[in-house]
Chain A
Amino acid sequence: MAYTSAAREQFRSTLKDVREAGLYKDERYICSEQGVEITVEYPRGSKPMKVLNFCANNYLGLSSHPDVVDAARKGLHDRGYGMSSVRFICGTQDLHNILEKSVAKFLGKEDAILFSSCFDANAAIFEVLFDEKDVLLNDRLIHASLIDGIRLCSAQRDSYKNADMAHLAKKLELWKTRARNICIVTDGVFSMDGILAPLDKIADLADEYGAMVLVDDSHATGFIGKTGRGTPEHFGVMDRIDIITTTLGKALGGASGGVVAGPREVTEMLRNRGRPYLFSNAVPPPIISAALRVIDLVSESTELRDKLEWNAKYFREKMEAAGFNLVPGQTPIVPVMFGDAKLANDMARELLGEGIYVIGFSHPVVPMGKARIRVQLSAAHEKEHIDKAVDAFIKVGKKLGVIR
């Protein structure tokens, strides 16, 4: 034992700093299944209360969908609970392979490979494909997992302002003779603002400079684009984006699991050299079985993504009419802007009292002075749920002087 009192004091002091900076993450306990109507125990120890959830990544409402739960149950019954192995030893069932092919087809790519999470997928990919002869050009608002993946890789790196194509062009010009491969790295939908990366323009620039494009489409797969194929479909560039990373942990059932979809050489490289793939367990059978059902559901019909689109549009219209300041956009991520961090947090707390579960986001998660509540719509929301949320926003907004 060498967990000394000095170490304990050091960690406690850091935690005190985190609390004093208002950055301490206080978890709320949900005492029901994930969905629109949930039971939350908050503050901890208090009587659990029923609230409407407007902050989950449960975009298509599949987290507790009966078909998905049944498929998971069947997977558990037929193929067991866990694999007790990484994929290349004895952790690959035939269904892993079927799911990979099915996801690849859904995304319009040659092949796909599964990871435990999209964080793992993003942590794996750069180190495997790129080295110091290459350069990675990333949008400055990319997800933390892409940043960590880039950090793990020896490639040169540079960045461009969020969705700023003139800046990206300047960087491509700067690097065109200095690197073997150039790879542009972006999110498809930026999760804090709910805005889309202009993939059509990115694809044009990539063609002009012979660059690859990698898109993390975690906040888009299943619902952005006319048939839910994601941001590339929205911009009509499904065949011009080289690599897509995405998750099974949001719209596609919300459990866990990540995916890289792209050229076959890329997935083969990852199978052979991707460290998070080689050194962590295979995705368990119930998740594989449920994910196969999810891919069927989103391939068969656009009903859920159409309903989600309607819900997001309806919520935006009602909130704008009420006088709230929203980040304009077309996604089910709707940031309601308050500027001041205390105001955003007070709003969120009061809204919970009104039965609406949302969270305030402030610096450093979003830029200083741009504190907000990020509302996330779901296909599982009904019109009356949205009406109730808007009424609560109006009531609390008036009370706190945000709107008149």
Chain B
Amino acid sequence: MSEDLKQKIIAYIREEYLEDDSMVLNENTPLISSGIVDSFSMVSLKMYLEEELGIKMTDEEASTEAFDTVNSILVLVGKKLAGKK
């Protein structure tokens, strides 16, 4: 998984969800369990990933666990991209 994609996802989360620019956000920062992204507005992130990567995720796949860190998101989209090839 490219560093480029990781940085893109972090940039999107920062822009879409963070109110405070000074907040630290990296690939291991808990997103859902920390309350940065609530499970209800997670839909924006799912839509962004689907459009950006040309994939489709079911609601079961896009679980709150799978979306809890950028790293876990990368694992999920990695599987989806591998399945596409």
On A, residues with C-beta under 8 Å from B are: 140, 147, 150-151, 157-159, 161, 363-364, 367-368
Contact = CB atoms under 8 A, between A and B. Distances in A.
A158 B35 contact: no
A158 B46 CA distance: 11
B43 interface: yes
A150 B19 CA distance: 24
Interface residues of B, number: 10
A147 B42 CA distance: 13
Interface majority SS on B: helix, strand, loop or mixed?
loop
Nearest to A161: B19
Interface of B: 17, 19, 34-35, 38, 40-41, 43-44, 47
B38 A140 contact: yes
Given A140-B38, A363-B35, A368-B35, A158 B19 contact: no
Contacts of A364: 35
A374 to B, nearest CB: 19
Given A158-B43, A158-B44, A161-B17, 9 more contacts: A140-B38, A140-B41, A150-B40, A151-B40, A157-B43, A159-B40, A159-B41, A159-B44, A363-B35
Nearest to A142: B40
Contacts of B40: 147, 150-151, 159
A248 to B, nearest CB: 27
20 contacts: A140-B38, A140-B41, A147-B40, A150-B40, A151-B40, A157-B43, A158-B43, A158-B44, A158-B47, A159-B40, A159-B41, A159-B43, A159-B44, A161-B17, A161-B19, A363-B35, A364-B35, A367-B35, A368-B34, A368-B35
A2 B38 CA distance: 35
